[in-house]
Homo-oligomer: A and B are copies of this chain.
Amino acid sequence: MKLLFERSRPGRGNDLLPPCDVPVTQFDPSLLRGAPLRLPEIAEVDLGRHYTELAKQTHGVNDGFYPLGSCTMKYNPRVNEEAAAQPGFTQLHPLQPVETVQGALEVLATAERLLCEITGMDGMSFQPAAGAHGEYTGLLLIRKYHQSRGDAARTKILVPDAAHGTNPASATMAGFQVVSIPSNQAGGVDLDALRQAVGPDTAGLMLTNPNTVGLFDANILEITQIVHDAGGLCYYDGANLNAVMGQVRPGDMGFDCVHLNLHKTFSTPHGGGGPGSGPVGCKAMLEPFLPTPRVKEADGVYSLFTPEQTMGQVRSFYGNFLVVVKALSYLLTLGKEGIPAASAGAVLNANYLMKQLMDHYDMSYNTRCMHEFVMTLQGLAHDTGVTAMDVAKRLLDFGIHPPTMYFPLIVHEALMVEPTETESPETLDQAAQVFLDILAEAKADPESLHQAPRCCPVGRPDEVTAARSPILRYSFGE
Verify if A9 is at the interface (C-beta below 8 Å from B). yes
Verify if A225 is at the interface (C-beta below 8 Å from B). no
The CA-CA distance from A424 to B7 in the complex, in Å, is: 11
**How does the 8 Å CB contact mask read for A418-429 relative to B, with 1 for contact and 0 for none?**
000011101100
The CA-CA distance from A333 to B14 in the complex, in Å, is: 11
**Number of A interface residues, CB 8 Å?**
23
**How does the 8 Å CB contact mask read for A40-70 relative to B, with 1 for contact and 0 for none?**
0001111011001000100000111000000
Residue numbers in B under 8 Å from A63 (CB-CB): 49, 52
Residue numbers in B under 8 Å from A426 (CB-CB): 9
- Name the residue in A45, A48, A56, A77 with the highest tally of chain B Cβ atoms < 10 Å from its Cβ: A45
Seed contacts A9-B424, A56-B56; 14 additional CB < 8 Å A-B pairs: A9-B426, A15-B333, A43-B424, A44-B75, A44-B77, A44-B78, A45-B75, A45-B422, A45-B424, A46-B424, A46-B427, A49-B62, A52-B62, A52-B63
A407-435: which have CB < 8 Å to B? Answer: 422-424, 426-427
Residue numbers in B under 8 Å from A62 (CB-CB): 45, 48-49, 52
The CA-CA distance from A423 to B422 in the complex, in Å, is: 42
Residue numbers in B under 8 Å from A78 (CB-CB): 44, 48
A binding-site residues for B, Cβ under 8 Å? 9, 12, 15, 43-46, 48-49, 52, 56, 62-64, 75, 77-78, 333, 422-424, 426-427
Chain B min CB distance to A346 (Å):
14
Contact between B64 and A49, CB atoms less than 8 A apart? yes
Chain B min CB distance to A420 (Å):
10
Chain B min CB distance to A427 (Å):
8
Can you list 22 residue pairs at the A/B interface with Cβ under 8 Å? A9-B424, A9-B426, A12-B424, A15-B333, A43-B424, A44-B77, A44-B78, A45-B62, A45-B75, A45-B422, A45-B423, A45-B424, A46-B424, A46-B427, A48-B62, A48-B75, A49-B62, A49-B63, A49-B64, A52-B62, A52-B63, A56-B56
Chain B min CB distance to A53 (Å):
8
Chain B min CB distance to A232 (Å):
42
Chain B min CB distance to A350 (Å):
17
Chain B min CB distance to A398 (Å):
14
Residue numbers in B under 8 Å from A43 (CB-CB): 424
Chain B min CB distance to A66 (Å):
11
The CA-CA distance from A124 to B46 in the complex, in Å, is: 35
